[in-house]
């Protein structure tokens, strides 16, 4: 089933769903195993056989981990960049764990490269064209044998994969490599429960949505498979339904359920052969919202956020704790209603003594009094977790040690605070870390079922977003299209959102999306140009108001129902501060538009049908309608260059263009014209 056909199926009624009582006559089978790939000469005992090694690489005797051979490379000229590589036969859409032992002597990364050093990676291509890769942080300095290990998912369209051993660009020093290894990392069959979002049903709402990852190695015809979903209480069957498998998804309705805690078991069935191909269980509950504590946050099957039963679309800012406490008044007076402070673990008002939990509660109190919610960051609370090449786990928090105990203490202290919106559990995490974040999500469900967890991921470039959909209750992506002065398109935003729709079906009963639109100048993060303001502005720029608006509207059209802009603290960095007033005004204008759109995005009314006839470029559009009959149509042009389309909105012949890029052709048809990253709103 194609992408659009799959999404259309998800938005249909629950047809084909029937009650079923048991699986009498069915036989369980083990999913076929994905065989381990063969790495030729992984310990370099046969010299460089099997490897295409660039100048300078050698296989040296007595240099390996057991005084055997090892691959050795030394670089003194940072301009050189040879690799040692090997093509390996790997399955498309399959995830693999790959590794090598690495030893270093006086290795220095290139200037400004936080991830540089001696490392290993996977690279993917199709018909000779590079598709991307999975690259691991490098080892620097002088270190004994260290395991460099990570995971990569092979793109579905890749026809060639190579493993590479190397020093990153501009790095220098000596490096040894040994014991290269790669093994399959995921099960051939896996189910992910996308809805109910926080893994609890309501008494009168038993709808569910499952995503199935069926590896190509299993050789299944998905169109002939069905799914049985059963709810049990202490092994006693409560409800069960039988549903079709529609592409990657199965959707159904268990009907009314009694209040309680249950096990949901999903079984993938081959009815013709009477086989149970896979079974997976989830801890779920049925909760009564009448018993929810004050400040309870729920995200529904349309991605809408409700606080105390009232609609409240998150429109927020990434921020540091110091800026939050200093500029809380400005934020409270703006359209932004939430913040994600990176220093959540140590929030306190500057100039006052840091008294741990009490200081953090004081900040919570001040935010709540001004109507600003906090997304509390737990992203660094994983023992032995490296972020951007450095250890980030704090070791202890207010005298408490052990990551689980710290999490338990944080949740105990703040879960009932009216200033809490959600728990931030992961920020651009590597593939190999996903299982730990998923475990954290399950723990939070036990400790605090009334606030969702949120993860933001940047793995749309590697096309591995689907590997993270079980990690949080709410998902996010952070595509930043303005990378330099010449940036003219937001194709990366379109790609990230299309992958999100395919992986988690936001707005169609699947995982909700709170996205991260770009508001910052990426040049602020480039040591080569952030030396002074003149150099920064000569080589980079921040997104314009129209660009920030356009990327936000494109994300909206493709399913986003929450927006947390990155970042407020970049607005007040010394090199950017002279532009603060203008840039803050522009960002607030975008926030105000999104706030105005909430009634339309949260409406249950059927919107007018929209037809887009593209004449030039890439144009996306969608319509929304409120109960009083008002209509809004959002239109975006992706760029680069000209975008033009005729847009027909059924029954809406008198719409006006807010931003002047659309003219009426009569009869409910409009012509949109724009250049580069552009947008309009018809009203």
Q: Using one digit for the tens of pLDDT, what is the confidence trace for 282-320? A: 999 999 999 999 999 999 999 999 999 999 999 999 999
Side by side, which strands form the sheet with 297-299? 297-299, 305-307, 310-311
Please report whether residue 462 resides in a domain: no
Place of tokens 């975006």: 636
Whether residue 461 lies inside any domain: the answer is no
Percent of the chain clearing pLDDT 70 (strictly above): 94
The answer to whether residues 546 and 616 belong to one domain is: no
Q: Flag whether 15 is in a domain.
A: yes
SS (H, E, C) 387-441: ECCEECCCCEECCEECHHHHHHHHHHHHCCCCCEEEEEEEECCCHHHHHHHHHHH
CA angle at residue 566 from 553 to 169, to 5 degrees?
115
Domain boundary among 184, 205, 235: 184
Q: Please write down the HEC assignment for all residues of 552-604.
A: HHHHHHCCCCEEEEECCHHHHCCCCHHHHHHHHHHHHHHHHHHHHHHHHHCCC
pLDDT tens-digit readout, 324-356: 999 999 999 999 999 999 999 999 998 887 788
**What whole-number distance in Å separates Cα of residue 98 and Cα of residue 184?**
9
| 246-268: burial string, b at 16+ Cβ within 10 Å, e else | bbbbbbbbbeebeeeebebbbbb
| Statement: residue 21 has pLDDT above 60 | no
Of 142, 132, 129, give the one whose Cα is nearest residue 102.
142
Residue 393 included in any domain: yes
Residue at 245 is within a domain: yes
For residue 7, the model assigns a pLDDT of: 35
* Terminal C-alpha separation, the chain: 35
Q: How far apart are CA 361 and CA 654, in angstroms?
A: 51
Do 491 and 577 share a structural domain?
A: yes
Looking at 570, 601, 632, which one is the last position of a domain? 601
- Please check whether residue 130 lies inside any domain of the structure: yes
CA distance 579 to 571: 8
Domain membership of residue 307 (yes or no) is no
Q: What are phi and psi for residue 38, nearest 5 degrees?
A: -100, 125
pLDDT at 14: 35
89 and 164 in a single domain? The answer is yes
Question: Which residues make Cβ contacts (< 8 Å) with residue 667, sequence separation at least 6?
Answer: 653
Distance in angstroms (rounded) separating the CA atoms of residues 284 and 297: 17
Q: How far apart are CA 54 and CA 440, in angstroms?
A: 43
pLDDT at 9: 37
Q: Output the pLDDT for position 551.
A: 98
Residues 61 and 160 in one domain: yes
Strand order in the sheet with 129-135: 52-53, 84-87, 160-167, 118-126, 129-135
Strand, coil or helix: 310? strand
pLDDT at 41 exceeding the cut of 90: yes
pTM of the model: 0.82
Please tell me the distance from the alpha carbon of residue 83 to that of residue 50, in angstroms, as a whole number: 14
Question: pLDDT (tens digit, 9 = 90+) per residue, 519-530?
Answer: 999 999 888 899
**Local confidence band at 115 (pLDDT 50, 70, 90 cut-offs):** confident
Q: Are residues 406 and 349 in the same domain?
A: yes
Q: CA angle, corner 470, sides to 138 and 425, nearest 5?
A: 60
Tell me how many domains the chain contains. 5
Contact partners, residue 459, CB within 8 Å, separation at least 6: 428, 431, 465, 467, 468
Q: For residue 658, what are its two tokens?
A: 């807010």
**pLDDT level of residue 402 (50, 70, 90 thresholds):** very high
In sequence order, the β-bridge partners of residue 456 are 427, 476
> Are 114 and 157 in a shared domain?
yes
Same domain, 257 and 372: no
- Is the model's pLDDT at 491 over the cut of 80? yes
pLDDT in tens, 495-539: 999 999 988 888 778 899 999 999 999 999 888 899 999 999 999
Retrieve residue 141's tokens.
């300095």
Local confidence band at 216 (pLDDT 50, 70, 90 cut-offs)? low
Before 567, cis peptide (omega within 30)?
yes
What is the CATH number for 136? 2.60.120.260
CATH number at residue 390: 3.20.20.80
- 164-176 average pLDDT score: 96
Cα separations (Å) of 658 from 238, 251, 633, 671? 53, 39, 10, 14
Say yes or no: 57 and 180 in one domain: yes
Range of the domain at 68: 52-184
The CA distance from 452 to 378, in Å, is 13
Residue located via tokens 């012509």: 671
Residue 464 carries which DSSP code? -
Beta bridge partners of 174: 74, 105
CB 281 within 8 A of CB 264: yes
159 and 208 co-located in one domain: no
What confidence score (pLDDT) does residue 548 get? 98
Domain end call among 552, 576, 601: 601
How high is the pLDDT of residue 652? 95
pLDDT of 661 strictly over 80 = yes
pLDDT band at 54, cuts 50/70/90? very high
Phi-psi region of 427 (alpha: psi -120 to 50; beta: other; left: phi over 0): beta
**Both 384 and 439 in a single domain?**
yes
Identify whether the C-beta of residue 552 lies closer than 8 Å to the C-beta of residue 591. Answer: no
How far from 545 is each of 82, 312, 492, 531, 636, CA to CA, in Å?
43, 24, 18, 26, 14
pLDDT band at 188; cut points 50, 70, 90: low
| Percentages (nearest 5) of helix, strand, coil residues in the chain | 20, 35, 40
Give a yes or no: residue 373 inside a domain: yes
Residue 240, number of CB atoms within 10 A of its CB: 19
501, 619: one domain: no
pLDDT at 35: 73
Mean pLDDT of 578-586: 98
Residues 56 and 165 in one domain: yes
Number of residues that make up the chain: 683
């Amino acid at each position: 089933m194609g992408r659009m056909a799959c999404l259309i199926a998800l938005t249909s009624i629950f047809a084909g769903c029937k009650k079923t009582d048991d699986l009498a006559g069915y036989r369980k089978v083990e999913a076929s195993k994905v065989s381990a790939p063969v790495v030729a000469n992984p310990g370099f005992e046969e010299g460089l056989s099997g490897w295409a090694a660039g100048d300078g690489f050698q296989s040296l005797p007595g240099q390996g981990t057991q005084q055997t051979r090892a691959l050795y490379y030394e670089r003194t000229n940072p301009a050189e960049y040879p690799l040692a590589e090997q093509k390996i036969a790997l399955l498309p859409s399959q995830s693999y764990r790959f590794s090598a032992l690495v030893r270093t002597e006086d290795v220095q990364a290139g200037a400004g490269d936080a991830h540089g050093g001696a490392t290993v990676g996977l690279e993917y291509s199709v018909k000779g064209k590079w598709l991307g890769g999975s690259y691991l942080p490098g080892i620097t300095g002088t270190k004994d044998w260290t395991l460099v290990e990570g995971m990569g998912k092979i793109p579905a369209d890749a026809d060639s994969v190579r493993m590479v051993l190397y020093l990153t660009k501009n790095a220098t020093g000596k490096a040894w490599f040994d014991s290269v290894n790669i093994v399959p990392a995921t099960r051939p069959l896996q189910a992910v429960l996308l809805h109910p979002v926080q893994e609890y049903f309501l008494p009168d709402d038993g709808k569910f949505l499952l995503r199935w990852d069926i590896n190509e190695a299993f050789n299944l015809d998905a169109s002939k498979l069905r799914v049985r979903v059963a709810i049990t209480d202490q092994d006693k069957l409560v409800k069960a339904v039988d549903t079709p498998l529609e592409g990657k998804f199965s959707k159904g309705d268990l009907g009314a359920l009694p209040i309680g805690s249950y096990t949901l078991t999903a079984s993938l069935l081959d009815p013709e052969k009477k086989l149970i191909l896979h079974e997976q269980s989830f801890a779920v509950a049925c909760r009564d919202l009448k018993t929810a504590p004050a400040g309870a946050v729920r995200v529904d099957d349309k991605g809408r956020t409700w606080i105390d039963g009232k609609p409240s679309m998150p429109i927020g800012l990434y921020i540091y704790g110091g800026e939050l406490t200093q500029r809380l008044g400005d934020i409270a007076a703006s359209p932004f209603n939430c913040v994600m402070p990176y220093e959540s673990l140590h929030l306190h008002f500057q100039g006052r003594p840091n008294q741990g939990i009490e200081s953090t509660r004081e900040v919570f109190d001040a935010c709540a009094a001004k109507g600003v919610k906090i997304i509390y960051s737990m992203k660094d609370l994983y023992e032995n977790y490296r972020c951007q090449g450095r250890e980030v786990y704090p070791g202890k928090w207010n005298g408490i040690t052990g990551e689980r105990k710290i999490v338990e203490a944080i949740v105990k202290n703040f879960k009932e605070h009216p200033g809490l919106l959600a728990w931030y559990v992961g920020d651009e995490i590597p593939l190999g870390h996903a299982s730990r974040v998923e475990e954290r999500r399950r723990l939070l469900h036990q400790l605090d079922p009334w606030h969702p967890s949120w993860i933001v991921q940047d793995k749309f470039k590697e096309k591995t977003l689907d590997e993270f959909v079980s990690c949080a209750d709410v998902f996010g992506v952070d595509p930043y299209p303005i990378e330099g002065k010449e940036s003219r398109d937001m194709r990366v935003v379109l790609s990230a959102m299309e992958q999100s729709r395919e992986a988690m079906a936001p707005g169609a009963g699947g995982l909700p999306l709170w996205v991260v639109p770009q508001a910052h100048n990426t040049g602020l993060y480039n040591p080569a140009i952030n030396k002074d303001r003149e150099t920064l502005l000569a080589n980079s720029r921040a997104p314009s108001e129209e660009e920030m608006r356009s990327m936000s509207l494109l994300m909206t059209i493709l399913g986003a129902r929450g927006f947390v802009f990155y970042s407020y603290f970049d607005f007040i960095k010394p090199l950017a501060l002279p532009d603060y007033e203008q840039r803050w005004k522009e960002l607030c204008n975008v926030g105000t538009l999104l706030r105005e759109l909430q009634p339309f995005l949260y409406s249950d009314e059927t919107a007018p049908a929209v037809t887009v006839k593209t004449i030039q470029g890439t144009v996306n559009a969608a319509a929304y309608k409120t109960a009083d009959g008002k209509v809004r149509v959002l239109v975006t042009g992706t760029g680069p260059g000209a975008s033009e389309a005729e847009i027909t909105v059924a029954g809406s012949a008198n719409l006006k263009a807010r931003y002047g890029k659309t003219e009426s052709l009569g009869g409910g048809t409009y012509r949109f014209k724009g250049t580069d990253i552009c947008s309009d709103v018809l009203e």
